[in-house]
Amino acid sequence: MEIRQLEAFAAVHSAGSVTAAARLLDRSQPMVSRQIQDLEQELGFTLFTRTRPHVTLTDQGKEFYEEVHNVLAGLQQLDTRSREIAAGQARPMRIAATYSLGSALVPPVIGRLEQSDPVFEYKMLLHTMEPQGVVQAVSDGQADIGVVSLPIDLGRCQLHWSGQAPCLMALPQGHPLSGDAVVCLDGLDERITVITLSNQTRLRHRLATALLPSDPAAPPRRHIETTSSLNALMLVRAGVGVALLDPFTAVDMAPSEIVYRPIDRHIPYMMGIITHRDRMLTPEGERLVQAMWDYASSNVPRFVAGDSSGLPKSADPFEADPEEDSGAETDIGDEAGADTEAGSDTEAGGRPI
């Protein structure tokens, strides 16, 4: 099995035909056809169903492509890194983050560090993706640090710290509820469209319960799911509806036409920082992990430390005293920032996990 055969296979799948793949690879069409045939003969199964002018993957081809994709990505990374080594450059800092946290948490933290003591020397890679993709990237060694929404199966990863804060509602300026200090979800007109971020396993039950109409006989509420907080905000600004958003987005993305308000239901947004359990972070990586905690605890309203489970606290930690703050501007090792009264676990040294 040769790399050029794998490249031809991936190109045919991406381009949809052998002819298009040949143009993509700058090879002749007969050469690409022969490389695919040789690869199929060596594998012992057919990769494509040929229905001119296009080709589609067989079931076995789909499984094989998942493996080939990772191999080619690793080779590309190896090629890039070898050039950096030859130039005497340090290894890039690699971060994988969910779409929301990659926009609302990582950039402001990097910005703060850039003003004082930059956390990387030559190059940083920041990739945004679905939460499970973040875990996979860290597990496969494609990323050194993962910034992910929780709970989620961490596999070979470990939590450095986790925390939660309540979701907020984004409303258009001038909306009848924008003047309320706290938005009562039961007060939402049942005809209003509610926009939420896609959440396949984490907050779906809480969100679905919160959005149920107060009248059981009422029709289901109109609902839009999106993978991007920016999409949600633009939909609100366009007058499509109101959005339930994570608190990090509310802190860092505040268009002038939109206002944020607390809601009367405790819908916690849980997130954490993960790394591979068998790989040590560099001192720069440790400093970035600490800086993200510092930013979250100082800037996100009602942010509290989580525990090693990565699960939200079952009750509102602030329910007994709405005026209580979350221990803002405390270090990871500070007990006030570790939410000890809520029963948060800590590692040796006091860092919440």
Q: Which domains does the chain have, with CATH numbers?
A: 3-86 (1.10.10.10), 93-165+269-342 (3.40.190.10), 168-266 (3.40.190.10)
Q: What is the mean pLDDT of residues 72-94?
A: 71
Q: What is the pLDDT at residue 190?
A: 75
CA distance 79 to 131: 27
Q: What percent of the chain has pLDDT above 70?
A: 80
Distances (CA, A) of 82 to 70, 89, 128: 18, 10, 24
Helix intervals (H) in 26-152: 29-43, 59-86, 99-104, 106-116, 131-139
Q: Are 161 and 272 in contact (CB under 8 A)?
A: yes
Between 340 and 312, the more confident residue is 312
Q: Which two tokens stand for residue 89?
A: 């450059």
CA distance 52 to 64: 22
Quick check: 298 pLDDT over 90?
A: yes
Q: What is the DSSP string of 235-250?
A: HHHTTS-EEEE-HHHH
Crossing angle, helix 3-15 and helix 18-25, to 10 degrees? 120
Among 133-137, 147-151, 219-223, 332-336, where is mean pLDDT lowest? Answer: 332-336
Distances (CA, A) of 5 to 20, 33, 215: 16, 10, 61
Task: Give me the residue label for tokens 């003047």.
Answer: 179
Closest CA to 168 of 101, 265, 311, 256: 265
Give this prediction's pTM.
0.69
